[in-house]
Structure 1
Amino acid sequence: MITRAKLPEDYKPLEKLCVCSNIMIGGGHLVAVGDVLPLLVGSGKVPMIWLEAPMDQTGKNYVPLVAASVALHPAVNVTSDGNALTVFVGGSQVLHVVQNEAEVAEIDILDLRPIGLNIFGNPDSMTVGGSTFSQNTFSGGGTFLSFGI
């Protein structure tokens, strides 16, 4: 399980991550559930992705689906197209991320609903529960979306 205190050794934060029109500058994490980080996007020759799914309603137990952009579960497929990665879970696209520069990436498709998290977005906006975020800028690290458990 990936937590804020226990990041993967080969994870390198991006200087800038655009997530469905929202910009994170200076590192940081997209989403946290308690201390668990179910999605990490890091820098590499192509974007480096880690994805975990909650196993139950407590939000304390997770199953790894993708580590360092490699599928770990039979229901998951990760495809690479040059500088872009696409992740499918059970045939549904859950993530598309493009790394245009060494420290800059953009998530233009995000749908974590198939893995039990009500977070989804497109190039124009991101919806979390009943809230929609569009064209916001966050800087200085930290976590964009943080849910307590």
Structure 2
Amino acid sequence: MDYGTSNPASFGLWGRKEGVWYRTEEYYYDSHKAGRQRTDAEYADDLEKLAAGRRIARVIVDPSAASFIEVLRRRGFRVIRADNAVADGIRVTADLLRAGKIQICRSCGDCLREMALYCWDERGGRDAPRKEHDHAMDEMRYFAMDLAEKESGGFAAVTVERRP
């Protein structure tokens, strides 16, 4: 999850099938377009709707979202603070995409839109992406970094199980 109040918030729902992780569904809220900001509690409600009764093993959250993390924990979610290493995260995400280990489903239109708009900031004199059209990209990067750590013997990544 990439948390935003004045910036957009992006939540991705990931599930694994036959060794490949799929971003199957998403939630994207842009307060500028909507004309109002959402509260932490409203975002937590939106996450519960996105989960739609599935068991969420863990929620990987933007590490700067301290109050939101606390709301999620109080609602019983297992929350992990995301690794926010931008350059490493971009490299890991690109490697996983290239290897076919993560896939984005057509239903994730905001993520696909941002992928097409994501670009490097050539003005700053350093290698960094522009801080625009990057909310779903940040969320995907958080997931990729967690997945890469899991595969190297660290944490388990987000899993989703459908209930009968």
TM-score, normalising length from structure 1? Answer: 0.31
**Greater helix share, structure number:** 2
**Greater strand share, structure number:** 1
Q: Which has the larger radius of gyration?
A: 2
TM-score, normalising length from structure 2? Answer: 0.29
